[in-house]
Amino acid sequence: MRRLIAFTQSPEPDFIYGSLLVVAFTSLQFTAATCVSLGYYFGVRLAGRIRAALVAMVYHKILRLRSLKGKSVGELINLCTNDSQRVFDLGLYLPVAIAGIFICVFSLIASYVILGWTAVLGTASYIMFYPLQVFLSKLITHFRQHCIKITDKRVRLMSEVITCIKLIKMYAWEIPFSKQIGAIRNQERSALEKTGYIQSLSTGMPPVVTIMSATFTIILHTSLGYDIDVAQAFTYLALLNAIRIVITGTPVAAKAIAETLVAMPRVKELLLMQEMEPIQDKPKNPENAIEIGRATFAWDKESTGSTESSIASLQQQQPEEGSDNQLQQKNGEMEILLDDSSSLVTCLFDMNLVVKKGSLVGICGSVGSGKSSLISALLGRMVKMNGTVALEGSIAYVSQQACIFNATVKENILFGDDYDEERYAKAIDACSLQEDLDILAQGDETEIGERGINLSGGQKQRVSMARALYSNADVYLLDDPLSAVDTHVGQHIFRHCIKDVLQGNGKSVVFVTHQLQYLTDCDYVVLMRDGRIAEEGIHNDLMTKDGEYAKSNTYISYGRQTKTITICCWTQAAIMNQRQYSQRLVMMSSSILDNPDLWMYQIIYGCSVPALILITLFKSVVFTKTTLCATTHLHDKVFNKAVSCPMSFFDTTPSGRILNRFSKDMDEVDVCLPLHIEYWIQYMLLVLFTIGVIAIVFPWILITVAILVTFFIMLIALFNRTIVHIKRVDNISSSPWFAHLMTTVQSLSTVHAFGKSDEFMRRFHRLLDENTVPKIMFFLASRWLALRLDVLTVLLIMTVALCVVFTHGYIPPAYAGLALSYTTSLLGLFEYVVRMTAYVDAHFTSVERIVDYIKNLTSEAPKKIKGHEPAADWPKQGHIKFEKLKMRYRDNLPLVLLRISFEAKPKEKIGIVGRTGSGKSSLGVSLFRLVEKEEGEIKIDDIDISAIGLYDLRSKLAIIPQDPVLFIGTIRYNLDPFMQYSDEDIWSALEKTYMKDMVSKLDNQLEAPVVENGDNFSVGERQLLCMARAVLRKSKILMLDEATAAIDTETDSLVQSTIREAFSECTLLTIAHRLQTVLDSDKIMVINNGKVAEFDTPSNLLA
């Protein structure tokens, strides 16, 4: 370039020499563009591999974890999505930052050659830009650490809302959860705002630094009396432009480094968590399948593992200095020891148990006695503190809450094993599934929704049981599998599946149950109390003793189921205008020192630098506030829209796909999109001003620009269709592995027990690879376009260079140097702008997906209907009337209720029984209007419930669901999210449900923590807390959907007594599988295949 500009100053032009200079100059530009593209390709490939390796490593670690230690599904998804993206960005942009260091060093040397030591001082301001970026990146790291914690909290809560949406709707709790999500979002917005200010400032610095360096150098150079000619001045400006192109990537690299520094400790924390250690020892006696000798077991502190005992009090407990680090509760209560050194909570003590091969061992005990913990210990999910544990053979496991995967019924049963028709048919028959499969539209090829959403509780448990039976394992660990099925089906499964098929084929079975009638047929019975084996022996022998087991059998066995983003462009235009105005320093004289107004220019341009810095700061504030206002508005609208959707949306849409809108898509809208928009505005204006400067010098160059723009448009039209499609595929392909990750976390015990970790890992690798390919293709496609745009830009540079040569004598050398220096700055800049355009367009697919939910999701009926609000004290009586009700869950599904008609009079207790899948729970679905009726009507106190708002209806009803639901928070929050009741009311409700003693012993009592899914409480304790929630609600109408399924006989008897007393003024609908539960009801309704088969008093029905 220096020689070309010097050529314009020569008195006699040599056009051949000038042409050779143009060829050499153009060749160097083309070589530079090619090398940059090649380096980018290797960078993208490396970044893609690093991201995939990190996500796979995290998933592999999750599969091996003993427990999650309080980590939620939302946190793990955030780790695998947002944090892995930060590592990808680091691999992509870090080489740019490293290259920038070397380019700055070489630029110092070149600037010294061009202008001498004054240029070195000016160029050094670029080097000072790096320490400034380091400082800004540290600030970004600090704010991002805080922000990511809040984002985790929001995603975790959102995951919980999606998972528990059915209960939230039934209790009309959308408002408190919306407020809680909104409060967290406001905290997140505040943290994002602080990060955005710093990030925007970092983004706006490169153009300012270029101007500042050029201004400072020329002012210093001329103030010291040194002359500067045209060739020197514009060669130096071109040098600064070359540095600027590299430094443009520095803010992005700094951001990637900062956010990776935030992400890595989170990944490290997960990788250092304790892994599960399967039982390796074999029994000493070859006739035994299981041997436990004087063993003590502990849970990880703050574990989300299924702890049968209540350890919530120890979640945050810190023993006082000088204490003996243990908590002992005497008088028959559970003794729990806290091992401070290893953060373990000991809850099984001095266990001695032998299970012989081919035997059936029954485990019973009250709620919180340690039954499920014993099963977990045999699975290797607890820590063995001392003693010995030995187990021989493969394991099959059926959890207390059925583990169902988003696959067909057949795939759920096979669970990756080869299909054996005879074994499959035997499993179907033994688990009494054939009748259910006949009802399903596609039989065993019917796809089951996430968490078995389209199956009843009993059907889910029987599918889970069939999976275990089909596995043909040696040892079967059954954790209360019959609690969710009716008496007839339960007897069938126990006789044909457990006794005939399993024990008949020599399988060893450990059978946890609360239903004492099954224990009479067990070979050996173990009664647990307070984490210890209280009694053990043969059923008949235990009955002859006056012990707890004999007393328990005297109780009646009750059934227990019981805006457009606005952007301030004018500030950027001011910066670009300054760049253009600064060129007026061009003089016709060959020496700048000849200008009499030199001092005035020095003052003006010297003062312009702080003005530009102030404008940049102002721009950063306005841009950040504007974009965050828009993204928060999007978040609030999509959340309100999602929670107002009918249940059919959640039944048919994988939760991972919904959560994707609030995790990955919101992350792109909050973080990635504003960054790329700001870059696009900044450098688009720079390109326009640059072309304007060139056009002033060579007006006819606009013809070339027009031709090149035509090619640009053709390339971009071809490219945009591709890039948007690739980005859409990237977004869509991420949902399956999200869902797979969620399923894995929720089913860890089952995956471990069946030894399916490798199979799950292979499936995850396949899903991750399917997502990695479009992600890499997205970046490589943008580089494909960039290289072609760079070639067109090189042609423009060549055209300008030829104009400089062949207009020798017509254009002043200063103007020629100005045009040439600005043209070279377009290399890399032009394609960068086009690439940013593509990125902004592609990232808008996340906005598009969010807006798609906002516009296209169907909402439920209104929460309130003006003019149709019921009285404040409605319903006064609790009179319920169903008239010829027909209901189907979705348009393409068969009817599940067929002209149901019955009447429940005020304060009447109605028992509802029937086979699993007969339609009992569907009555509750209709009553709460989770699904709107097709025909008929339901009236409460003579008011048609379809004529009033959903909030007015649901807030007046109460339900205790079949699957107990607890939320992350505290016990108080779970019982009273509206803060409507006093402590006395809450304690009274806990006392009535026999939870007062347990809660009062917790560290923080009502403020004791509840982890995700309430996993720090046993299933029975969760059901009792849900019952306390219903007691507090004081509704006139209450539905119990197998609400005491996981409660022992004694507690169940007491709870049933409480129900009769606490809800004596209520109309009570009790769904049960066992007649004993509803024998004291005023009437019993038998449901069969969606119809009322019988409806009368118990005495008449039994007569």
Lowest mean pLDDT segment, chosen from 521-530, 737-746, 753-762, 775-784 = 737-746
pLDDT at 592 over 70: no
The label of the residue with tokens 């699975």 reads: 379
Q: Which residue has the higher pLDDT, 335 or 197?
A: 197
Residue 24 phi, psi dihedral angles, 5° rounding: -65, -45
pLDDT in tens, 303-357: 433 333 333 333 333 333 333 333 333 333 334 344 444 567 788 889 899 999 9
pLDDT at 564 over 80: no
Half-sphere exposure in the Cβ direction for 625 (13 Å, CA) = 7
CA separation (Å) from 226 to 109, 219, 565, 614?
19, 10, 49, 31
**What's the burial of 574, exposed, middle or buried (CB within 10 Å: 0-12/13-18/19+)?**
middle
Give the pLDDT score at 1051: 65
pLDDT in tens, 659-695: 888 888 888 888 888 888 888 888 888 888 878 878 8
Give the pLDDT score at 559: 33
Give the angle 696-793-580 at the CA atoms, nearest 5°.
Answer: 30
Give the pLDDT score at 476: 92
- pLDDT band (50, 70, 90) for residue 33: confident
Residue 355 phi, psi dihedral angles, 5° rounding: -115, 115
Give the pLDDT score at 721: 76
Give the pLDDT score at 222: 74
CA separation (Å) from 584 to 6, 396, 818?
20, 83, 10
Average pLDDT of the chain to the nearest whole number: 79
Pairing of strands 524-529, 532-537: antiparallel
pLDDT in tens, 607-624: 776 777 788 788 888 888
Give the pLDDT score at 560: 35
- Cβ atoms of residues 296 and 310 within 8 Å: no
Q: What is the mean pLDDT of residues 157-165?
A: 85
Longest dimension (CA), the chain: 125
Q: Which residue has the higher pLDDT, 193 or 1054?
A: 193
pTM, 2 dp: 0.65
- pLDDT band (50, 70, 90) for residue 249: low
Q: What is the mean pLDDT of residues 924-929?
A: 88
CA separation (Å) from 664 to 394, 636, 669?
39, 16, 9
3-state secondary structure of 844: helix
- Cβ atoms of residues 774 and 782 within 8 Å: no
Rounded Cα gap, residues 268 and 266, in angstroms = 5
Rounded Cα gap, residues 1102 and 123, in angstroms = 98
- pLDDT band (50, 70, 90) for residue 408: confident
Lowest mean pLDDT segment, chosen from 120-129, 221-230, 585-594, 890-899 = 585-594
Phi-psi region of 1010 (alpha: psi -120 to 50; beta: other; left: phi over 0): beta
3-state helix, strand, coil in the chain (%, to 5): 60, 15, 25
Per DSSP, 12 falls in state: S
pLDDT at 569 over 50: no
Q: Which residue has the higher pLDDT, 323 or 25?
A: 25
pLDDT at 1091 over 80: yes
Give the pLDDT score at 477: 92
Give the pLDDT score at 1074: 62
- DSSP string computed for 24-40: HHHHHHHHHHHHHHHHH
Give the pLDDT score at 263: 81
Q: What is the mean pLDDT of residues 155-164?
A: 85
Whether omega for the bond prior to residue 1009 falls within 30 degrees of 0, making it cis, is no
pLDDT at 1026 over 70: yes
Rounded Cα gap, residues 299 and 344, in angstroms = 6
Q: What is the mean pLDDT of residues 200-228?
A: 75
Half-sphere exposure in the Cβ direction for 208 (13 Å, CA) = 22
Rounded Cα gap, residues 683 and 569, in angstroms = 11
Give the pLDDT score at 965: 81
Give the pLDDT score at 242: 66
Q: What is the mean pLDDT of residues 928-933?
A: 88
Q: What is the mean pLDDT of residues 79-85?
A: 80
* Portion of the chain with pLDDT greater than 70, in percent: 86
- Cβ atoms of residues 449 and 484 within 8 Å: no
Q: What is the mean pLDDT of residues 1012-1039?
A: 81
Rounded Cα gap, residues 590 and 582, in angstroms = 18
- pLDDT band (50, 70, 90) for residue 510: very high
Residue 283 burial (CB count, 10 A): 21
Residue 903 burial (CB count, 10 A): 14
Rounded Cα gap, residues 327 and 382, in angstroms = 20
- Least Cα distance to 368 among 1025, 1034, 1081 occurs for 1025
Q: What is the mean pLDDT of residues 982-1007?
A: 85
Rounded Cα gap, residues 565 and 629, in angstroms = 8
Give the pLDDT score at 312: 33
- Cβ atoms of residues 432 and 492 within 8 Å: yes
Per DSSP, 408 falls in state: B
Give the pLDDT score at 1047: 65
Q: Helix 84-115 to helix 250-271 angle, to the nearest 10 degrees?
A: 150
3-state secondary structure of 663: helix
Which residues touch 938 (CB under 8 Å, ≥6 apart)? 880, 881, 882, 883, 885, 926, 927, 944, 945, 946
Rounded Cα gap, residues 1036 and 293, in angstroms = 53
* Portion of the chain with pLDDT greater than 90, in percent: 2
Q: Which residue has the higher pLDDT, 40 or 258?
A: 40
Q: What is the mean pLDDT of residues 1015-1030?
A: 80
- Cβ atoms of residues 188 and 666 within 8 Å: no
